[in-house]
Structure 1
Amino acid sequence: MPVPVPELGAYNYVPETKENLDWADLITIDLSLFGTPEGKKQLAETLIKGVREDGFFYVKNFNISQERVNRQFAIGKRFYETPLEEKLTYVPEGLDQGAFNGYVPAGRRILEPTSGIRDRVEVYNIPKFNGDFTHQHPEVIQKHLPEIEEFARSLHTEVLDPLHVLLAIALELPEDYFTNIHKYEIKSEDHFRYMKYTKFSHEENEKIGRMWGRGHTDLGSWTLLFRQPVAALQIQNHKTGEWKWVKPEDATLTVNAADALSFLTGGYVKSTIHRVAAPPVDQEDFDRLGLLYFSRPNNDVPLATVKESPVLQREGYTQNSFEKSGSPVPTMEQWTFAKQKWQRTKGVVRGDPKFETAQILPGYNERPYA
């Protein structure tokens, strides 16, 4: 697709940190190998290792140019230069009841109780372009909506569909098993996101324990995160509980498996707890702009363990937390809005003991924050 005239101007990435951080050693899925049966088999083996051990991995050679990625970062930057008064007109009705498409303003959570310091995270979510959602956006978004739509659809065809095929192969299922429950034309709560973390001063970072966000798991299938150089993402090792930094690797997407895939595989695929920390000192003077896509199964898909997988049967992953408790298994739509509502209304202050015991839905008592 020809890239439009760059009226937005160039997007300049900040310098990478020079600090020697404790980086996670993540696997890489090279989608240039996807075109042959042998390549698919090799990638499926690599993918299942990644989602079992770390839950996070890199994807490269996904057929979306860096120029197109830069354009999206430039659009996101321009959006966050929009006056707050205009952005606030796009806050979704029912935000505290789980609504999420549109603008979510900063300052909704207290990060440090004694100082009263609040978060500085702003989010703008754009839903699917499949006819199920109304698209009314601020001018800078509306003006570039065809380009944004093309980009979002490309993520579905060039990244998500191949990952779903690879996961099906790894679980010895028909190749179209997961693509059939993640069809773009069927309603789901997928969304494309521009996300901004506004910087804190060094003194403020120390007061909040150098933590910008709580540990959490994502609620869908896959989360795609485009590379940006401000180091902040940390993941928790499944076995040791240790926190590791995720390095922004050139020309890659950072991808993580999320709750829905964990439910569908009876816990065989891990939904990894992750968080956003304050950047290292040599990057403290920069805001952090994120570009993400959240993939979710179609709304009517029950989050029950896939019984047809020989792998899950052999390995003993035949029931998820709902099924083990005898509770009703939610659909993806029910899970989405229940967890979103819980996150918006519970545990406003980091460290609240309610994080340990709150039940989002009957039968689900996994600790969602760390």
Structure 2
Amino acid sequence: MATPFSPPISKIPKPEIPKWTPPQPTKMHLDWADLRTIELSLLDSPDPEIVTRLVAKTKAAIEEDGFLFLTNYGVSLEQLHRQFDLAQFLHANISEEDKAKLLWDPSTGVFAGFKPRFGWKREPGKFDGIEHFNFYSPEFEDIEKVPECIVPFMDEITAFCDVSGCLYGAGSLNRG
């Protein structure tokens, strides 16, 4: 199984932040997609056939489903929810100055920074209601590229991404 995530012990005091409350599951009767479950702990199997089948299943999920439903990857639900706590905190507390200073520029090909609710270009366009702050490992090392309100939590975010295998060391904090 993946190495279990152990959050770092902070050496600096951090503000208390509210817990994120997951939305209630839908009560609508829906025709749910039947996604394959990828059990990552099987990668540690001593039986090479089990690993081969897991790799084949993963390829099929990518090619046919377009999604990966992963289990037993070393991060508890509580630890994952902590990242949602941080995302909610960032969006509730990011300053207008940080939004302007860290405004994204998708023409660079890097989608790092603050994306306002007005389309997918840097210039204002049609309102789309999707606001997010996205950052990658280079931003983790340059505190000037991180909203001031989230700086005390960068040790947690960095450790989570390092251990949990976040895609290319990115943190995407969304609110839509």
| Structure with greater Cα Rg | 1
**Cα contact 2:132–2:173 (8 A) shared by 1:** yes
Instruction: Check 1:81–1:126 CA distance in 2 against 1; reply closer, same or farther (3 A cut).
Output: same
Letter in 1 for 2:37: T
Distance (whole Å) between structure 1 residues aligned to residue 94 and residue 134 of structure 2: 17
1:149 aligns with 2:158: yes
Partner of 2:57: 46
**Cα contact 2:7–2:156 (8 A) shared by 1:** no
Residue 121 (structure 1) shift: 0.6
Q: Which of 112, 120, 123 is residue 129 of structure 2 equivalent to?
A: 120
Distance (whole Å) between structure 2 residues aligned to residue 48 and residue 27 of structure 1: 11
Instruction: Check 1:46–1:122 CA distance in 2 against 1; reply closer, same or farther (3 A cut).
Output: same
Distance (whole Å) between structure 1 residues aligned to residue 139 and residue 88 of structure 2: 26
Instruction: Check 1:62–1:139 CA distance in 2 against 1; reply closer, same or farther (3 A cut).
Output: same
Distance (whole Å) between structure 2 residues aligned to residue 3 and residue 107 of structure 1: 36
**1:242-289 CA distance string (max 9 Å, x none):** xxxxxxxxxxxxxxxxxxxxxxxxxxxxxxxxxxxxxxxxxxxxxxxx
Q: SS where residue 25 of structure 2 aligns? A: coil
Letter in 2 for 1:66: L
Distance (whole Å) between structure 2 residues aligned to residue 103 and residue 130 of structure 1: 13
Partner of 1:58: 69
Q: Which of 96, 101, 115 is residue 89 of structure 1 equivalent to?
A: 101
RMSD over aligned CA atoms reads 2.9
Q: SS where residue 38 of structure 2 aligns? A: strand
Matches within 5 A, 1:1-370: 1-2=6-7, 7-38=16-47, 39-82=50-93, 85-86=96-97, 87-92=99-104, 94-108=105-119, 118-128=127-137, 134-136=142-144, 137-156=146-165, 190-197=169-176
Instruction: Check 1:194–1:70 CA distance in 2 against 1; reply closer, same or farther (3 A cut).
Output: same
**1:145-200 CA distance string (max 9 Å, x none):** 011000011122xx87xxxxxxxxxxxxxxxxxxxxxxxxxxxx652211111xxx
Instruction: Check 1:135–1:101 CA distance in 2 against 1; reply closer, same or farther (3 A cut).
Output: farther
For these two proteins, the number of residue pairs brought into alignment is 160
Distance (whole Å) between structure 2 residues aligned to residue 63 and residue 150 of structure 1: 13
Q: SS where residue 83 of structure 2 aligns? A: helix
The percentage of aligned residue pairs carrying the same residue is 29
Letter in 1 for 2:133: Y
Partner of 1:250: none
Please state which structure has a larger fraction of its residues in strand. Answer: 1
The answer for unaligned runs of 5 or more in structure 1 is 110-115, 161-188, 198-370
Partner of 1:220: none
Letter in 2 for 1:26: L
Please state which structure has a larger fraction of its residues in helix. Answer: 2
Partner of 1:362: none
Distance (whole Å) between structure 1 residues aligned to residue 136 and residue 56 of structure 2: 32
